[in-house]
Structure 1
């Protein structure tokens, strides 16, 4: 069974009903490590050695964060800048993450319909996530489609319940033998047929 590292970055976690529900639902799953960056590094002093060791102990890396200004909160960006070092994560000798799987789990206040060429945000979520995708590519990781819970400001209790169950199912599937071929013409991990049972 593949080991999953959830790099969770939310500066206002205690105020986020959706992220609390998602994290609480998966936190006790076997071979899943929840690594809360804001809890560990509230002073922004990242221990690069510890972070590298964590990465090497896991097969799948999930950047789990709210979609702040079409990107991630600042601590996760700092983590990427500091931990993914030249000739360790990328570059001629940078093979430490080769073959691992990487993806984003995001929450957005705006609905899915707002993220398209005709919507208020002009671009799709996948287009906004291109820097993360290219980071994964540069580090020789396979980048999977994101898991996204969107329109969080108007989420009903039923949809939230379905979302956290789907997230749990997605974690289970990631620990099996999913490959990029399973995501042909699929923009979100939520949309793969195996999860359309709830």
Structure 2
């Protein structure tokens, strides 16, 4: 049975409709650990050893965050900078890292509808292209990268029904990895 770590990088989960709905949908799953970075580190002082230990004891790592200026949130970025270190999270000589082979999923919410994230849309490109740094980071760390999960329109246009369906699908996906 795989253990899933959900690393949540939302600055105020209690004020989020979409991110909190996704987290709430999986909170009760056996073998899923919900790790809210902003609740754990309100002072931004990350316990790197504790974070590495958490990663080491899980088989599947899910990185969930809202899109902030076409990127991740500040604390999640700081977490990456401090936890994904040379010799532990990645190597330069091709030897296996401590994260090698673990499954990784990036799950993001975007305030605007999906059509904004097309070559013809307001952003002029896809969300996947804008967040390509995730793919590069996860490849460097030798993760087994799974498809990105995207939930669009969270600030504009996401219906209760769409949110409920997204939460249900998220639950099913994480349950499938934890089985």
Q: TM-score interval w.r.t. the shorter chain? A: over 0.9
> Over the residues paired in the alignment, what is the CA RMSD in angstroms?
1.2
Question: How far is 1:94 from its partner?
Answer: 5.7
Trace 1:151-190 onto structure 2 (pairs within 5 A).
Answer: 151-153=153-155, 154-175=157-178
Question: How far is 1:152 from its partner?
Answer: 1.0
Q: C-alpha distance in 2, partners of 1:126/1:35?
A: 24
For CA contacts below 8 A with separation 6 or more, give which structure has more relative contact order. Answer: 2
For the 8 Å contact 2:110–2:153, the answer to whether it is kept is: yes
Q: Is 1:107 the counterpart of 2:147 in the alignment? A: no
Q: C-alpha distance in 2, partners of 1:51/1:142?
A: 19
Q: Is 1:36 the counterpart of 2:39 in the alignment? A: no
For the 8 Å contact 2:8–2:37, the answer to whether it is kept is: yes
Report what 2:48 is aligned to: 48
TM-score (norm 1): 0.85
Trace 1:129-140 onto structure 2 (pairs within 5 A).
Answer: 129-140=131-142
TM-score (norm 2): 0.94
**Unaligned runs of at least 5 residues, structure 2:** none
Question: How far is 1:175 from its partner?
Answer: 3.4
- Partner of 1:172: helix, strand, or coil? helix
For the 8 Å contact 1:66–1:106, the answer to whether it is kept is: yes
Report what 2:7 is aligned to: 7
- Partner of 1:63: helix, strand, or coil? strand
User: How many matched pairs?
Assistant: 176
